[in-house]
Amino acid sequence: MTDLYLASGSPRRRELLGHTGVTFERISAEIDETPLDNEPPHDYVRRLAAAKAEAGWAVMLAQGLAPRPVLAADTTVALGNVILGKPADAVDATRMLKLLSGTTHDVLTGVGLRTSAGVDVVVSASRVTFMALSDAQIARYVESGEPMDKAGAYGIQGLGGLFVADLAGSFTGVVGLPLHDTALLLGRHGLGHLAG
């Protein structure tokens, strides 16, 4: 029997979730990802992870699907209190990469699990240090197209990994679904390899 629904369009999240030992189906859940005025990044990812899980739960009910827990996640890059989401275009990606060049930033991933008891959220926080990037290196990277669907305009699992001089935290959290924290969250609800 299927354990849960994954409210995410991200192929990376689908692949990572498979490692936790749950069986799942995908469900769509679209939400407004605009940060509130002066919203701290930690509060923002927590709110979005919960909202995505709630949105998935609402879709499940509206479509009359079999009731199951709904898992969702949100990843954001934070430079201090500045939230860097997915770049709007190549110019925006270039702006973000210039901000990250030669600095250390936080990558926060919130994971929400909506059950009939409510929504349970965990946040994984990692610190990533970038090498100093030249304008030519940034231009070539933006040209590759890799930054476009990723928070902070880079993918640590791809070419973006070349820029990462140091990582403290969860590699899978940076990619979009922290395996350890997600498995513990699922385990608390009796699901997956870390249940019981």
Ligand X SMILES: Cc1cn([C@H]2C[C@H](O)[C@@H](COP(=O)(O)OP(=O)(O)OP(=O)(O)O)O2)c(=O)[nH]c1=O
Nearer to ligand X, 137 or 157 (CB): 157
Nearer to ligand X, 73 or 183 (CB): 73
Q: How far is the CB of 31 from ligand X (least distance, A)?
A: 8
Through-space distance between the first and last CA atoms of the chain, rounded to whole angstroms: 18
Q: Give the Cα separation of 58 and 28 in Å (integer).
A: 10
DSSP H or E run through 4: strand 4-7
Q: How far is the CB of 134 from ligand X (least distance, A)?
A: 20
Tokens in use for 8? 């995410």
Which among 32, 37, 43, 74 is annotated as catalytic?
74
Q: How far is the CB of 52 from ligand X (least distance, A)?
A: 6
74 is catalytic: yes
Nearer to ligand X, 27 or 183 (CB): 27
In the complex, which residues of this chain contact ligand X (CB under 6 A)? 8-10, 12-13, 52, 73-75, 77, 86, 107, 149-152, 154-157, 160, 174-176
Q: How far is the CB of 137 from ligand X (least distance, A)?
A: 17
Would you call 158 exposed, middle or buried from its count of C-beta atoms within 10 A (0-12, 13-18, 19+)? Answer: middle
Using Cβ positions, the residue closest to ligand X within the complex turns out to be 8
Q: Give the Cα separation of 103 and 29 in Å (integer).
A: 34
Q: Give the Cα separation of 137 and 129 in Å (integer).
A: 16
Nearer to ligand X, 29 or 190 (CB): 29
Q: Give the Cα separation of 37 and 77 in Å (integer).
A: 17
Nearer to ligand X, 144 or 190 (CB): 144
List CB contacts of 144: < 8 A, sequence separation 6 or more: 159
Q: How far is the CB of 163 from ligand X (least distance, A)?
A: 10
Q: Give the Cα separation of 147 and 160 in Å (integer).
A: 8
Residue 154: phi and psi, rounded to 5, are -150, 160
Q: Which residues are catalytic?
A: 74
